[in-house]
Every structure is written in C-alpha cells, then in structure tokens.
Amino acid sequence: MLKLRLPAGAARSHSRSFATKYTGRVVHEGDSGRTLSVAVDPPAAAATAAAPRDVRGYAYPRKDLVCRLAHLLRRRTSSSTDSLPPDLLDYFQSLAVTPTPLEVSEALRAACPTPATALAFFRLVASLPGFRHDVSSYNRMINILGRSGDAAGVASLVGEMKTEGVRGTISTINMLIGIYGASPPAELDRCLGLAARWGLVLNCYSYKCLVQAWLRSGDADGAYGAYQKMRSRGFKLDVVGYNMLLDALAKHDQ
C-alpha cells in the first residue's frame, strides 16, 4: 500500500508518464484531501507468468534453476550408477514452479549426463504436473541418444513425438539424417518423409547432411541425386562434401 502526498497546485497541463504503469485503487483519503492511500495491484503478467518471457512470448530459461538441475545431474554422472539422485525428486517437489522444456534442455546440455541418466531425467520431468515436452527437449534427447549410437531409442522418441503431436524442426531432420546416415536408404527416405509430414523445407545444411549420409551408406547415385536437388534450390556444396562426392563417383567410374 502506498501513501501519496499531493503538493499544492498538483494539477499541471504537462505531466511526464512513467515507464511502468500500475493499476491501483484509493483506499483512504486524508481529511485535507492532500493525502491518499493507494493499494497497487501487480501487473497480471507478473502474477501469472512462471518465468520471464521475450517479445515472442517464449519463456527465458531461469539460470539458477538450470544450474541447480545441471549440478544434480553432473554429480550423479560422476558416480558409478546411471540412476537419478534421490534428492532430485525432492528438489522438484520443493519448487513452486514447473521447469520449462527449454530449461530441461539447457540442464541436459550443461550436465552432459550419460544417455541412461539423461533419459531417466527426461522421463522424470514428464511426470511433473503441468509439464509437457516440446521440440527443444526432444531435440536435446535425440541428440544425446544419437551420439551414443542408440538408433532404436531415437526411433522411439520420434514415434513419441508423432503420438504427442509435437512438430519437429529442420534441426530435428538434420540430426536424424546424421544419425541414420550409415543405415539402409529406407531410413533416409523416412527422414525426408518426416520433413514433408511436418511441412519443413530442407535448407543448405540439410542437403549437405543428406549428401554425406548417402555417401556413408555407399550409395553414390543417391548422393549425386541429393546434390542435383541441392543445386536446383540454389545451394552450394562445401569443398569437403564436394571432394567426397567426386571421390565416390570416381570409384564408381561415373
């Protein structure tokens, strides 16, 4: 509650507005009319938002929360077991707010846990009230499992995204192309089918990954076809990819 004292001749033709506007109500007026007690209501956004948001409406990751989660995960990673620390659930229960998917993703990135620990943490936060994984946390988990060579785990996450109605991004497609690059061609076709399903358009980096994936699978024709599509889109292959493609075509006398 604020108490304001109005100076004599307070009414002026020119007044300067404040940067932040508040809404309040007069709860008491002095006998002289020069003293007011005003109850100020906090802005609605401050009262309802669990985290500060940018101009697009996305919540900024809270650094203190991310650091604490990463610390707990890092401590468990240094031990001999992949189980989660018992005080992690206690920490979540002590929080008055629910972490955002971006904060979960940032905690996993900072902690660099084992794939088993990361997946256990991923499942734990999904059980929190009001939490729902989005593409940022799915991408992080796909990246972790993909780097460990767990193609089956990655496929399970992609299937989960379809079931939950989570739309991937072009980064998701690029990661999947890299993960399934040495797999049978049907896996690469499945990646392209996902891009079409999600209404995504391949960018220059996507085509670069696709050319290299076809080369790793031993299909020079597929790599050259991807290169031709890349050129038709106005993209250029870098010198490393170009040399790899030339070498593969030369070995096949093309």
Task: Check residue 45 and give its pLDDT.
Answer: 44
Beta-bridge partners for 162: none
Percent of the chain with pLDDT over 70: 76
How much is the pTM?
A: 0.73
CA angle, 123 then 158 then 167, to 5°: 100
The phi, psi pair for 236, rounded to 5°, reads -120, 140
Which of the four pLDDT bands, split at 50, 70 and 90, describes residue 35?
confident
Give the rounded distance of the alpha carbon of 46 from its chain centre: 23
| 82-96, 108-122, 173-187, range with the lowest pLDDT | 82-96
Tokens of 147: 């780097």
